[in-house]
Structure 1
Amino acid sequence: MNQSILFPDIQTWDDEHQAILFPAQQAGALIECLITKVSLEQLSGQSIASSQQALDIFAQYRFDLEELAEALIEEEEFNSLGQIEVVN
């Protein structure tokens, strides 16, 4: 893993976008990463009924999601809002 990209143990549910937001830090810059409920359901093979369930499933797959986000950051695959969107 590239130690220049750090992932604090912080994640929040964004009800408006039906996604989990989690930050990354690279060279002092804060990068907002996200995974949608749909992508998390596809990754986990589980149906998500609540925000708490989404956060729990995110925690189970955190390492894999951080690796995917790290690769996207290194490839500079930012969306139009400057975010990294992890998709399955």
Structure 2
Amino acid sequence: MNQAIQFVDRVEYENGVITFYAMVNGLLLPCIIELKVKERSDALAHFAEHRFDYEELAEQQIEEEAFGEEGEVQIKALA
């Protein structure tokens, strides 16, 4: 695990999109997952179940500097 990347306990859900955040060298970076799940409780349960997998994927993309147009990390939903 990269010590310069830390994940904070902030998870948001809106319109089929989960957003969680990484602290990277003092900056808060949004990590976005688009889900086909429409219910907030189902989306948050899915994220809780796969949290560490999503954090690993986000960490890889951050290290590769694979950012979206607005500086976010976009992650494909896990099954």
Aligned match of 1:59: 48
Q: CA RMSD in A?
A: 1.2
Secondary structure of the structure 2 residue equivalent to 1:65:
helix
In the other structure, the counterpart of 2:6 is 6
Output the CA distance in 1 between the equivalents of 2:27 and 2:51.
21
* More helix, by proportion: 1
Find runs of 4+ consecutive structure 1 residues off by over 4 angstroms.
none
Q: Identity rate of aligned residues, in percent? A: 40
Corresponding residue for 1:50?
39
Paired residue for 2:29?
A: 31
| Corresponding letter in the other structure for 1:27 | N
Gaps of 5+ in 2: none
- Structure with more of its chain in strand, by fraction: 2
1:9, distance to aligned residue in structure 2 (A): 1.4
Consecutive unaligned residues in structure 1, runs of 5 or more: 39-47
> 1:24: how far off?
0.4
Map residues 69-80 of structure 1 onto 2, 5 A cutoff: 69-80=58-69
Name the count of aligned residue pairs.
77
TM-score in terms of structure 2 length: 0.90
